[in-house]
A and B are shown apart, each in its own frame.
Chain A
């Protein structure tokens, strides 16, 4: 027989799915939000996305090749996802060199220092974002005016910023409501904010695509968003003058981006549905605590990173329902 036979243990067939395909599905899910960011912030949005992606890919390649002496794995799509998500988490007008520093923090510290894809404890894009937020607080909170706004101002504020400043200076919610964009505008994304977080609607569409393609399950997004709505709602019911309606909390800031695309990062989230719900509820509670009582107007980045740290613990104690065990 001229054939050389392969002998290996079962199974002898494979689903054909790959890590690369999963990463690309995440990228497809992010495309509507990228297009919307260009529509709202102009070519600056493309500039930021391009620099973030290029810098992430470059750092991944260089560090793997020259520092870790490994075969670079830039083509697996994961650095591409990190790049896009990093861009989504910064203002559109941010200087290029800050983005590059963010990419270095994300890829170098957040991912490769732990050993690379699959070994990192924290979501790399959020490591990058939080690094920048602490290092460059001014640039990271200088929000460009959206093209749809009828104003001559050069910078604007995010809805959460307006709210936080207003409440601190003692204004009641009823007075601030006039300064905030309508819920409809926030759903559609006609509002200021980080590049990719503004359109709740398009992010939800991307999330539905990911659920349909079985990249993510509903557990994390629903538990995060549900918890935010419930906790914010409870406070609003007790004191509607000091706390705004829960719909604002759900639609503003990075809740959708965070709940659908950042908290669901496979590497850094729990493995079982029950664990994922605990994790999601934790993110929701921490986010709303920071928003209502913390120094920052927005808290989901910190909340996700904190719960990332709990993921190994959750995986150790929350086990799937074993077959044949009560």
Chain B
């Protein structure tokens, strides 16, 4: 029996159109827009000004607090301005505009592809370097990695889980990275284990990627203390809490951190970034992005510099299909629909998905027939139908009592609702409001 999480879950069609497509390098854009807030936590503070000449890999904004991350220039060139532009969130966000001139990297960065297995840093040094390199969770949540590696006092991790699940339909960036950079990911995993002082790591991969499971099972032997666990395909298994449950059987307590049950989760892309930061001195200036969609001429996986407008990805994949009705940064279950192709690729952009017009519009919601499917698919054991009603009627104390803040916004409820009700939309609104109430209560 393959392992999986116990509560809820759905099986959206996988549509992994770009599976097996080798990672190509996307050409440099003419200019980039690098937002100062690409992570969870405080926005970074720009340390360059208009007219400054920057090199690739140079820090251009420093972390704005402990839960924040440094940002580095992904290109070389001249800072055009520091201004606001719309990003994937739909809001105007401050960022640094750089006109690209050549591609001159900082001298200390090793751009070679040579595999560097050995390291002799201690845990603190590793964490320091990860923090300096501006690494955040690349699975999409963009939580600063160094914060995860320093557990609160009194807590200790005993297992590192590497997330190779990629349960979002369409996306293949993690899968392809796993196929091409297996050793680098394993070295990155060793580095993370050292930083966390744990003796054991498990790489969780869903069973729809048998090639990656085989490859990792074989290669992991050489590294020791790293196991590979094949998981039954089920969304949202890539969710941190679901993955911990699937791999270890432990349940992260409501409102608690994963490390409360001794687990720390890191994405395969993050492990690769950790490898590059420590073994190659390379800060986080690029990532793998899937560009896909049913009418996209060439669904592909690209290595893309942070700040590149997604229009360049769309061009590289054969142009915008006539019939495009929706552009999504991320996957179809949790990604964000964007308003323009000028939105930049950021640290958290795992894919760009173009939906056909017919797939873009929701159907009109009709009455809830209490079929209880939302309850049975909720991976957090909540009652989405009830939370929606409570949010709609603004009964926030009851929404809180019914654990609205436990919602991970995976979208399984809305996906499955036969009456097309906007369950998650209302739950998000309710969460925002309940979050506010909780914060004011604490003051």
Contact = CB atoms under 8 A, between A and B. Distances in A.
Contacts of B255: 324
Contacts of B219: none
Interface stretch (B148-156, B200-208, B413-421): B413-421
Nearest to B415: A11
Contacts of A270: 372
B369 interface: yes
B31 to A, nearest CB: 20
Interface string A210-237: 0000000000000000000000000000
Contacts of A76: 366
B334 A10 contact: yes
B141 interface: no
Contact of A116 (B241, B367, B372, B402): B367
B332 A11 contact: yes
A14 interface: yes
A295 interface: no
Contacts of B327: 5
B83 to A, nearest CB: 23
Contacts of A324: 241, 251-256, 380, 406
Given A5-B327, A19-B418, A267-B369, A319 B383 contact: yes
Interface in B365-408: 366-372, 375, 378-383, 385-386, 402-403, 406
Contact of B339 (A7, A10, A14, A22): A7
B326 interface: yes
Contacts of B363: 14, 18
B381 A118 contact: no
A323 B383 contact: no
A272 B324 contact: no
A13 B169 CA distance: 10
B369 A9 contact: no
Contact of B378 (A12, A15, A268, A320): A320
Interface string A1-36: 101011111111111011101100000000000000
Contacts of A6: 325-326, 337, 360-361
A13 B359 contact: yes
Given A8-B362, A21-B418, A323-B241, A3 B324 contact: yes
Contact of A7 (B338, B370, B402): B338
Contacts of B336: 9-10
Contacts of B7: 320-321, 323
A117 interface: yes
A115 B253 CA distance: 40
B210 interface: no
Contact of A14 (B326, B335, B366, B415): B415
B425 interface: yes
B249 interface: no
A118 B371 CA distance: 9
B195 to A, nearest CB: 26
A80 B255 CA distance: 46
Given A1-B320, A324-B251, A14 B333 contact: no
A8 B327 CA distance: 10
B21 interface: no
Given A7-B90, A10-B411, A324-B254, A19 B419 contact: yes
Interface residues of B, number: 70
A18 B241 CA distance: 30
A323 B361 CA distance: 32
Q: Is the interface of B mostly helix, strand, loop or mixed?
A: loop
Contacts of B10: 15
A21 B416 CA distance: 13
Nearest to B15: A13
B139 to A, nearest CB: 15
A10 B414 CA distance: 9
Contacts of B252: 324
A9 B89 CA distance: 10
A11 B427 CA distance: 13
B337 A12 contact: yes
Interface in A254-279: 266-272
Nearest to A268: B370
Contact of A118 (B169, B359, B370): B370
A6 B90 CA distance: 13
A271 B374 CA distance: 9
Nearest to B252: A324
Contacts of A13: 12-13, 169, 332-333, 359, 415
Contacts of B326: 5-8, 12
Contacts of B409: 10
Nearest to B253: A324
A18 B418 contact: yes
Interface string A131-174: 00000000000000000000000000000000000000000000
Interface string A104-118: 000000000000111
B406 A10 contact: no
Contact of B424 (A10, A19, A269, A321): A10
Nearest to A13: B332
Nearest to A273: B376
Contacts of B366: 19, 73, 76, 117
Contacts of A315: 386
A117 B418 CA distance: 13
Contacts of A18: 363, 418-420
A15 B424 CA distance: 15
A69 interface: no
A325 B254 contact: yes
B370 A12 contact: no
28 contacts: A1-B341, A5-B337, A5-B360, A7-B90, A8-B326, A9-B424, A11-B333, A11-B334, A11-B414, A11-B415, A12-B328, A12-B332, A12-B337, A12-B360, A15-B415, A18-B363, A19-B371, A73-B366, A117-B366, A117-B369, A118-B370, A266-B372, A271-B372, A272-B375, A322-B381, A323-B7, A324-B380, A325-B254
Pairs A-B, 7 closest by C-beta atoms: A11-B411, A118-B367, A6-B360, A271-B372, A324-B254, A322-B381, A13-B332
Given A9-B428, A14-B362, A324-B241, 14 more contacts: A1-B341, A5-B338, A6-B326, A9-B425, A10-B411, A14-B363, A14-B420, A18-B363, A118-B369, A271-B370, A320-B375, A323-B406, A324-B252, A324-B254
